[in-house]
């Protein structure tokens, strides 16, 4: 039996969620995604916690969603089945990060692809190693990544997102800063220390001050998160059967 890919630890005012299945590039199964969502909600419910750090073991941050037996596919399930069993858990993960009143910080030591890239973009703060790479490769398999785009939509420049999705562009860490996926790039050796500094700064802040900033940023965003999420879910669930049946060609 494989061990859990999710580990949640507490260090004073910090909750630390670690992706811990390095042998597979920290690819996440649907149970992993549900576990990560529950861990994020748990961290946000603890009054002593001010900041959630999301980091990973190994050379890669997260290479995306892991292929797994038993997961619903367009040829095996209705649109509603896909929405409930596949789409729902992924959107719940992004929504959990979006609704946090504590600050989420991604520590990106390696490549982040697909779901991993969206997870980084969904965090409030993201610091990446200079060698990290970012991509949304789903369209190489004719899978519209509307779920990932729902996490990126309020953070990433539209033309950058389009290049990643339609042009299958892989961004360097510096390009990811310019596009809005991450906020800061440092050398690999300096990454843990830089994130430690940010976590220490946030941990010293009053929780009401942090919550006020988070709530304002949510309210100030032009697009409504739930509306974008619902549209992403409906469009993907509706498109997948036709795509898999070959009707798109």
- Domain with 19, as residue range(s), is 6-191
Are 86 and 147 a contacting pair, CB within 8 Å?
Answer: no
Average pLDDT over residues 27-55: 96
Residue 105 lies in a domain: yes
User: Comparing 164 with 228, which gets the higher pLDDT?
Assistant: 164
Residue 60 lies in a domain: yes
Is beta strand 103-108 parallel, antiparallel or unpaired with respect to 112-113? unpaired
- The enclosing H or E element of 10 equals strand 6-11
Q: Indicate the pLDDT class of residue 101, thresholds 50, 70 and 90.
A: very high
Residue 207 lies in a domain: no
Q: DSSP code of 155?
A: T
- The enclosing H or E element of 243 equals helix 225-244
Residue 230 lies in a domain: no
Q: DSSP code of 21?
A: -
Average pLDDT over residues 127-132: 98
- The enclosing H or E element of 106 equals strand 103-108
How many domains in the chain? 1
Using alpha carbons, list the distances in angstroms from residue 43 to 14, 35, 36, 70, 218.
Answer: 9, 12, 11, 30, 19
CATH number at residue 121: 3.90.226.10
Q: Indicate the pLDDT class of residue 154, thresholds 50, 70 and 90.
A: confident
Closest CA to 15 of 37, 56, 57, 44: 44
User: Comparing 78 with 190, which gets the higher pLDDT?
Assistant: 190
Average pLDDT over residues 131-151: 93
- pLDDT of 183 strictly over 70: yes
Sign of torsion over alpha carbons 67, 71, 151, 162: positive
Closest CA to 170 of 133, 120, 145: 133
Residue 142 lies in a domain: yes
Compute CA 207 distance to the chain's CA centroid, rounded to the nearest angstrom.
24
- pLDDT of 84 strictly over 70: no
Q: Residue 65 in 3-state DSSP? A: strand
Give the pLDDT score at 248.
42
Average pLDDT over residues 93-110: 95
Q: Indicate the pLDDT class of residue 221, thresholds 50, 70 and 90.
A: low
Residue 221 lies in a domain: no
Provide the whole-model pTM.
0.85
Give the pLDDT score at 103.
97
Are 103 and 124 a contacting pair, CB within 8 Å?
Answer: yes
């Amino acid at each position: 039996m494989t061990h859990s890919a999710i580990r949640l630890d507490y260090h004073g005012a910090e909750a630390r969620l670690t992706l811990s299945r390095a042998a597979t590039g920290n690819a996440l199964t649907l149970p992993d995604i549900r576990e990560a969502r529950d861990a994020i909600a748990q961290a946000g419910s603890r009054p002593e916690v001010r900041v959630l750090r999301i980091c990973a073991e190994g050379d890669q941050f997260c290479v995306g969603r892991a292929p797994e037996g038993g997961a619903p596919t367009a040829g095996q399930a209705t649109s509603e089945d896909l929405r409930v069993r596949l789409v729902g858990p992924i959107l719940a993960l992004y929504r959990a990060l979006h609704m946090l009143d504590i600050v989420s910080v991604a520590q990106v030591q390696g490549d982040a692809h697909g779901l991993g890239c969206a997870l980084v973009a969904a965090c409030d703060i993201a610091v990446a190693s200079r060698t990290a790479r970012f991509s949304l490769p789903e369209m190489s398999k004719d899978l519209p990544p509307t779920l990932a785009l729902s996490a990126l939509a309020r953070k990433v420049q539209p033309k950058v997102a389009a290049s990643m999705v339609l042009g299958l562009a892989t961004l360097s860490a510096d390009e990811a800063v310019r596009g809005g996926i991450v906020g800061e790039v440092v050398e690999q050796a300096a990454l843990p220390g830089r994130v430690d500094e940010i976590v220490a700064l946030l941990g010293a802040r009053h929780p009401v001050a942090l919550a006020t900033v988070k709530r304002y940023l949510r309210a100030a965003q032009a697009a409504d998160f739930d509306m974008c999420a619902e549209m992403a879910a409906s469009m993907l669930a509706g498109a997948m059967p036709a795509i898999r049946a070959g009707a798109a060609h």
